[in-house]
Amino acid sequence: MSVATRIELDAPDISPYRAGNTSIPYVTSFDSGRAGPHVVVNALTHGNEICGAIALVELFRSGPRPLRGKLTLSFANVAAYQQFDRANPSASRYIDEDFNRLWDKATLEGPRRSAELARARQLRPLYASADHLLDIHSMQYATAPLMLVGLAPKTAAFARTLGAPELLVRDAGHAAGSRIRDYGAFADPAAAPLALLIECGQHWERRAAEVASDTMWRFLAATGIIERAIAPAPPQRFITVTDVVTIGSDDFRFTADYRGLEVIAKAGTVIGRDAGREIRTPYDDCVLIMPSRRLARGQTAVRLGRFG
């Protein structure tokens, strides 16, 4: 097994949480009985991103007692997670399609059928009821953690109250479909509900689980639902995504082995070719955000941004 796919984490047994205490399998709520927000922590949007499952199991074992409102813990794409195999860890990302590209009304209420859509339709009422949602993810490459905050100012402002991670990414998502964090009121600047998406680091590195846990506790403290002392962290910085490179052919290649957060000094630098069409950086000091290994037509190859 190569260094890039070294697995330092063990996928936890989540079967004890199958029944939960709601009408949705693998969803459990803790209600304080006092007025307050409905806070949701969501893991396993992708079945191979196990750091979120580790964080949720830690939270379950702590015996969470919200001070106010209601706390709900959700394991999302459980069917994909149950296929996780250390010998082929990337294969369990999803069963039929990406669970995190389904979150618009037309898709959710349309005629299409898949394992992921069936589960999304189960979980839709949960996400729609959330005042605050944290969706825990990890990445293909071992780069610094990223918090994806969308474009609504309310979300960026709330992310600052967590104090970590250092890098906050303003972005509009993907052409291939809407994410949970952009669903419904979460993306509406005038609505109160908000959602954050944390990318904790490389999928199976030990550090990803540490970041998932730290971010989860910071999030819960920031919502006021759980009291916890939070360690200081480095000052945060924003990266604003200006361009999304969506793959248009079956022949896309990067010009170098980009891993993410590279800063390309000169505008016009060729970073990839899509069936011969050159993909160039649009300005000086262009930041490459999460270049993908899954180079398939219609999917995001990389996002381009700048600091500030």
pLDDT digits (tens, 9 = 90+) for 140-156: 999 999 999 999 999 99
Q: Domain coordinates of the chain in residue numbers?
A: 3-223, 238-307
For the structural domain made of 3-223, what CATH number should be given?
A: 3.40.630.10
pLDDT of residue 6: 87
Query: What residue has token string 């082995």?
Result: 257
Distance CA 237, CA 144 (A): 12
The average pLDDT across 31-56 equals: 98
CA 114, chain centre distance (Å): 21
Q: What is the pTM of this model?
A: 0.96
The average pLDDT across 57-85 equals: 98
Is pLDDT at 3 greater than 80 in this prediction?
no
* 300-307/286-289 β-pairing: antiparallel
The average pLDDT across 110-129 equals: 98
pLDDT of residue 2: 39
Write the pLDDT tens digit of every residue in 273-286. 999 999 999 999 99
Write the pLDDT tens digit of every residue in 73-90. 999 999 999 999 999 999
| Topology of the domain covering 238-307 | OB fold (Dihydrolipoamide Acetyltransferase, E2P) (2.40.50)
Distance CA 261, CA 285 (A): 11
3-state secondary structure (DSSP) of residue 22: coil
Distance CA 131, CA 69 (A): 10
Confidence of residue 1 (pLDDT cuts 50, 70, 90): very low
Is pLDDT at 69 greater than 80 in this prediction?
yes
User: Can you read off the two tokens belonging to residue 287?
Assistant: 């930041």
pLDDT of residue 67: 98
pLDDT of residue 274: 98
Write the pLDDT tens digit of every residue in 152-202. 999 999 999 999 999 999 999 999 999 999 999 999 999 999 999 999 999
Task: Please measure the distance between the N-terminal and C-terminal CA atoms of the chain and give it in whole angstroms.
Answer: 38
Question: CB neighbours of 104 closer than 8 A, spacing ≥ 6?
Answer: 177, 178, 183
Write the pLDDT tens digit of every residue in 89-102. 999 999 999 999 99
Percent of the chain with pLDDT over 90: 95
